[in-house]
Amino acid sequence: QKEGYPHYMIKEIHEQPQALVRTIEPRINPDNLPDFSADGIPDSFFENCSDITVVACGTALYAGMAGKNMIQNVLGIPVSVAIASEFRYERPVINENSMVIVTSQSGETIDTLEALRLARQYTHKTLAIVNVKGSSIARESDQVLYTHAGPEIAVASTKAYSVQVASFYLLAAKIGLVQGKMTKKEAQNFLATLKEMPGRIETVLSHEKRIQDLTDRFTNVPNAFYIGRGLDYRVAMEAALKLKEISYIHAEAYAAGELKHGTISLIDDGVPVIALATQHKVYSKVISNIRETKARGAYVILISEDKKITDPTICDVHFSIPKVDDIFSVFESIVICQLIGYYTSVNKGINPDQPRNLAKSVTVE
Ligand code: M6R
């Protein structure tokens, strides 16, 4: 059922626009406002929510990181993100007004499930963002938001990430409206931009060949770095996971401003640095961080909104994404990075659908 694609992973990367439509459209009503009535989640669930804790593992955790960055910046509500296997053995700092969002594609990850069980001893505002219908996490949480991404077969998560991130955006619009932190107009504009994401991903996918060509260079490198600030840094975390899990290249995500506090000593001739610079507020800061890596010989791939980069001292390869509000660039940037991971794996003769030592679902401890 690969439908002509050589691997499930690339098929699932291409399914992202449709998967996003299935996640987003049923939750936006004809007035362009967030609507969870078909999910059976009442507005009262979002009232009196003082803080949010996202609990998850792996890719789902990184989707939560992107969600945290966006929700805090848009709504000003404190959000913490906890690794499920840590959260479940620590003292949870939550109360009955805390919302706990457990995020899981499979809905069966044992640490996330146990973290949910623990959270429910403190609050009944637990909400699961889950893909697999009727899974344990979906059954045990107070509310469920199904992502409707369709089956994800490849071990490396791709479409599950995009729809999880989109779910956080839908939730932000709802919480913002219910708590008076967003006006109707603001929520409508926010959701109108969210609706543009599937089309924008189609455009990224039309540049697939260029991304494939650039990965030829990665076949023999032992290390790679993904850098960015703000939301870009959160995207970098998932991007680095995508490269390492299927290509076996050691990849690290770094907050660009942290480079000179240690990591820059690892930058040497030819080390790939994938730099994300889509956040307007910190654009010039990231560019100066990139220059620092370039000056030390890094091979820099830049993802930004610039139409063209003519200064060869900034980067070796440039991918331009169309202008968009800072908080929405994640949807396009991550697809470029998923393709970098996929083609690097294929170039190295690895089966990206079945990387060594990894299972699709981690149901035992
Ligand atoms: O099914 P889950 O979303 O709970 O799985 C969590 C992680 O095991 C998973 O996201 C994993 O990190 C990805 N498959 C990696 O691409």
Describe the chain by its helix, strand, coil percentages, rounded to 5: 50, 15, 35
Ligand 1 within 6 A of CB of 109: yes
Distance 132 CA to ligand 1 centre (A): 13
Alpha helices, H only, the chain: 8-14, 16-24, 58-75, 84-87, 110-119, 136-140, 159-178, 184-205, 208-214, 231-247, 283-295, 330-347
Ligand 1 within 6 A of CB of 57: yes
Residue 364 has pLDDT above 80, yes or no: no
Ligand 1 within 6 A of CB of 112: yes
> What b-and-e string marks burial along 88-124, b requiring 16 or more CB atoms within 10 Å of the CB?
beeebebeeebbbbbbbbbbbbbbbbbbbbbbbebbe
Please calculate the CA angle 345-219-277 and round it to the nearest 5 degrees. Answer: 80
* Best residue among 7, 131, 157 to mutate for probing ligand 1, ranked by most atoms within 8 Å of CB: 157
Residue 360 has pLDDT above 80, yes or no: no
ipTM of the complex: 0.98
Q: Which residue has the higher pLDDT, 108 or 359?
A: 108
Report the nearest atom of ligand 1 relative to the CA of 361.
Answer: 1
Distance 279 CA to ligand 1 centre (A): 27
Q: What is the mean pLDDT of residues 321-347?
A: 96
Distance 360 CA to ligand 1 centre (A): 7
Ligand 1 within 6 A of CB of 362: yes
Residue 42 has pLDDT above 90, yes or no: yes
Question: What's the pLDDT at 217?
Answer: 87
* Best residue among 106, 162, 334 to mutate for probing ligand 1, ranked by most atoms within 8 Å of CB: 106
* Best residue among 87, 105, 135, 337 to mutate for probing ligand 1, ranked by most atoms within 8 Å of CB: 105
Residue 357 has pLDDT above 90, yes or no: no
Closest CA to 275 of 226, 315, 215, 239: 226
Report the nearest atom of ligand 1 relative to the CA of 137.
Answer: 4
| pLDDT digits 0-9 by tens, 124-182 | 999 999 999 999 999 999 999 999 999 989 999 999 999 999 999 999 999 999 999 99
Report the nearest-CA residue for atom 10 of ligand 1: 59
Helices (H) and strands (E) in the chain, counts: 12, 10
Report the nearest-CA residue for atom 12 of ligand 1: 58
Residue 359 has pLDDT above 90, yes or no: no
Could you tell me the pLDDT band of residue 263, with boundaries at 50, 70 and 90?
confident
Distance 238 CA to ligand 1 centre (A): 11
Distance 244 CA to ligand 1 centre (A): 14
Alpha-carbon torsion, ordered 176, 182, 186, 190, to 10 deg: -20
The pair of structure tokens assigned to 176 is 């913002």
Q: What are phi and psi of 360, to 5 degrees?
A: -65, -40
Question: What's the pLDDT at 362?
Answer: 80
Could you tell me the pLDDT band of residue 330, with boundaries at 50, 70 and 90?
very high
Distance 199 CA to ligand 1 centre (A): 26
pTM, 2 dp: 0.97
Neighbours of 261 (CB within 10 A): 9
Could you tell me the pLDDT band of residue 310, with boundaries at 50, 70 and 90?
confident
For residue 34, give the DSSP letter. Answer: B
Distance 299 CA to ligand 1 centre (A): 30
Residue 33 has pLDDT above 80, yes or no: yes
Residue 266 has pLDDT above 80, yes or no: yes
Could you tell me the pLDDT band of residue 356, with boundaries at 50, 70 and 90?
confident
